[in-house]
């Protein structure tokens, strides 16, 4: 199970006072308002940054960090991911899972037959779609609905699914 989750990527400095523009990679960018610190993942190291300010601009989050008050302090941070510890991640409702915990799980049918491995989760307007990588076959796309996704056991390493008629033909 993943212990850290990426919540954003620094795109560019914002202004001259050490703020950065962040592209959020979380479902709920408003969560930045309650976070106290983030983990900055640089090429060869990581460090904890304490948040001093949070603003929103279009699809971006504008963050200021303690001890970084000038543009020169943040120019080298372009492209760096921002992470949170699992304990600081958004709480889950029943039957909700962090995507990072699902990627790589074995996918089985209701009879226990191995179908493949969960490769990706696509977010669509109606529901998520699970992309299952199958050996020697094209990827299988399964809607994340209760009729298809029967059981999710990230701790056990598998997902049990029902492949509805016609889905294998897509």
Domain architecture of the chain: domains with CATH = 4-88 (2.40.30.60), 99-169 (2.30.30.240)
CB-based contacts of 112, cutoff 8 Å, min separation 6: none
Q: What is the mean pLDDT of residues 32-39?
A: 96
SS3 state at 3? coil
Report pLDDT digits (tens) over 2-12. 789 999 999 99
Residues 155 and 102: their CA atoms lie apart, in Å, by 10
pLDDT at 42: 94
pTM of the model: 0.76
Q: Strands 37-41 and 114-122: what pairing?
A: unpaired
Report pLDDT digits (tens) over 52-110. 999 999 999 999 999 999 999 999 999 999 999 998 888 888 888 888 899 999 999 99
């Amino acid at each position: 199970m993943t212990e850290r989750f990426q919540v954003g990527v620094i795109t560019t400095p914002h202004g001259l006072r050490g703020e950065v523009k962040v592209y959020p990679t979380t479902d709920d960018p408003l969560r930045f308002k309650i976070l106290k610190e983030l983990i900055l993942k640089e090429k060869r190291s990581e460090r904890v940054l304490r948040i001093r300010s949070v603003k929103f601009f279009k699809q971006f989050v504008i963050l200021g960090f303690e001890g970084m008050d000038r543009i020169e302090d943040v120019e080298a941070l372009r492209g760096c991911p921002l992470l949170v510890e699992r304990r600081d991640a958004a709480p889950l409702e029943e039957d909700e899972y962090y995507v990072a915990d699902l990627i790589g799980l074995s996918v089985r049918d209701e009879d226990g037959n191995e179908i493949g491995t969960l490769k990706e989760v696509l977010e669509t307007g109606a529901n998520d779609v699970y992309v299952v990588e199958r050996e020697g076959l094209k990827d299988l796309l399964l809607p994340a609905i209760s009729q298809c996704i029967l059981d999710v056991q990230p701790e056990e390493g598998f997902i049990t699914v029902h492949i509805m008629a016609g889905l294998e033909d897509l």
